[in-house]
Structure 1
Amino acid sequence: MNIKYDRFYGGKSKALTLSYDDGREQDRRLVELMNRYGLKGAFHLNSGLLGRPGYIRSEEIQSLYQGHEVSVHTASHPFLDLIPQERLIMEIMEDRSALEKLVGHPVRGMSYPFGSYNEQVVQLLSALGMDYARTTGGNGGFSLPSNPLLWNPTCHHKQMLEYGEKFIQYEPRHSRMSLLYVWGHSYEYDRDDNWELVEQFGELTGGRADIWYATNIEIIAYLHALQQLQCSVSGRIIHNPSATAVWASVEGEAFVIPGGHTVHL
């Protein structure tokens, strides 16, 4: 029996997520456009900068980012590879604690300020409660992260149309799951006067039946649940110990394994 763990939520083989840093006031316009086209993403915020000129206010975070993810970007946006370990820990934990108070749930992801990190930084993240950390190193591909704590996006949003078109046409070998991951800063749309990119990207990639639109942490949580599936020697019994429903395929046909259930094939 040919069983593959090759489906995202809903049995889809493709997923799309966006990721924006700093919590600048242009996030308001960006979120409105993303919502219009059904796009989802993570917004990585510096809690120590909230309310300053040009930044969003703490009291609007819960309503503004509803349906999206609020994520760590450190409290004050330092170069993490240039500060003492004690300050590194506090930058992440202070930001995480402040954001959790604002959104009312655990915050488990982050992006690296300035894209800066080193081996010491990466090694500390799991102990600080981080399930993923996004870099700024676009890889031009649609693969899943091999190490979520060094999660390279597909591209910067300046290239979103180019890679959006490629993603729609993309047919991975061996029916693997594919992910389009776009990152940037919302203030760049004002600076470059190219807000039309978001609308064109939404028209191109939004509302498609073959794509799962998800936040960064939703993708990581789903992959964790998929990896926890327990399969019998015969391949005909699969148990899902997680609380999350996951999808797989048998002979190319998608099927669901509800959270906490055992499926007999």
Structure 2
Amino acid sequence: MLFLTSWDDGHPSDLRLADLLCKYNLKGTFFVPTSNKEGREVLAKEELRRLDRNFEIGGHTLTHCYLNGLAADVLNHEICAGKAAIEDDLGHSINGFCYPGGVFDSRTICAVKAAGFDYARTVENLCFDLGKSAWLMPTSFQFYPHSAFVLAKNAIKYPKISKFNIVRMRWSEKEFMRFMEAQLADANHHSSVFHLWGHSWELDEYDLWGKLESFFKLTEHYPIQALTLFDAHQLKN
């Protein structure tokens, strides 16, 4: 089983998350804007460089701006200037991009490609593969106790019959951690991809750190191959 994790928004609590990933020999990709127009803190340059020592850093626009409907010059500036700023801070290029809020269209995809990124991640959930397109990389689960109703909305947006089976499982299993444990076991049984994503600020806000560590402990019972998203993309290609 390939085990991937990715984390959005570049909050300073990403450093706590990095320590937890290291503790369990797991990999992570962190998608970072240079500022956040919603008012949340972002990593300072030295914090970002510390994170970069052991993990992959990806782009997440300049200001965490949703990209649909923007004028072409603003769209390109958000993507390209965000990439350039992170690369300037790190002193090397970055490869991956994540669409803020999971919002994108064909113009957005073209702009991300033109900016020189190699792949882009979406917020499509309930997938256990790397996707058919490098610009539409899906995920398995967000680490947040979403209800079956929320999972169903995501499944309707990105429809596939197998997803609705998972929604039914969530409807039957109301306890989030038991549900997640069952999904991890099933992914291992089928030797598939398990891609966990989330936000460190959300772990703070909803006191999910203990649950996340318990979930990471479960990975010790399986023969996982932990990869960054870029490594998984390279493996696929």
TM category (shorter chain) comes to 0.7 to 0.9
Which residue is 1:117 aligned to? Answer: 104
Tell me the percent identity.
Answer: 28
**Compared with structure 1, are the counterparts of its residues 195 and 163 closer, same or farther at alpha carbon in structure 2 (3 Å cutoff)?**
same
- The number of residues matched between the two structures is 204
Residue among 128, 136, 148 paired with 2:134: 148
Instruction: Say if 2:35 is the partner of 1:48.
Output: yes
Residue among 23, 35, 41 paired with 2:10: 23
1:164 touches 1:201 (CA, 8 Å); kept in 2? yes
- Higher share in strand: 1
C-alpha distance in 1, partners of 2:77/2:58?
16
Amino acid at match of 1:142: F
Instruction: Say if 2:164 is the partner of 1:178.
Output: no
Amino acid at match of 1:81: N
Which residue is 1:196 aligned to? Answer: 210
Q: Larger C-alpha radius of gyration, 1 or 2?
A: 1
Amino acid at match of 1:133: A
Which residue is 1:242 aligned to? Answer: none
- Higher share in helix: 2
Which residue is 2:231 aligned to? Answer: 218
Q: Could you say what secondary structure the match of 2:107 adopts?
A: helix
Q: Deviations over 1:151-204 (max 9, x none)?
A: 1211111258434542334333xxxx6211111111111111121122111110
- The runs of 5 or more residues in structure 2 that have no matched partner are 146-175
**Compared with structure 1, are the counterparts of its residues 88 and 206 closer, same or farther at alpha carbon in structure 2 (3 Å cutoff)?**
farther
Listed as ranges, the matches of 1:239-258 within 5 Å are none
**Compared with structure 1, are the counterparts of its residues 53 and 143 closer, same or farther at alpha carbon in structure 2 (3 Å cutoff)?**
closer
Which residue is 1:67 aligned to? Answer: 54
Which residue is 2:143 aligned to? Answer: 157
1:17 touches 1:215 (CA, 8 Å); kept in 2? yes
- The runs of 5 or more residues in structure 1 that have no matched partner are 1-13, 225-265
**Compared with structure 1, are the counterparts of its residues 180 and 94 closer, same or farther at alpha carbon in structure 2 (3 Å cutoff)?**
same
Which residue is 1:166 aligned to? Answer: 183
TM-score, length basis structure 2: 0.79
C-alpha distance in 1, partners of 2:2/2:102?
23
Q: CA deviation at 1:49?
A: 4.6
TM-score, length basis structure 1: 0.71
Q: CA deviation at 1:207?
A: 7.1
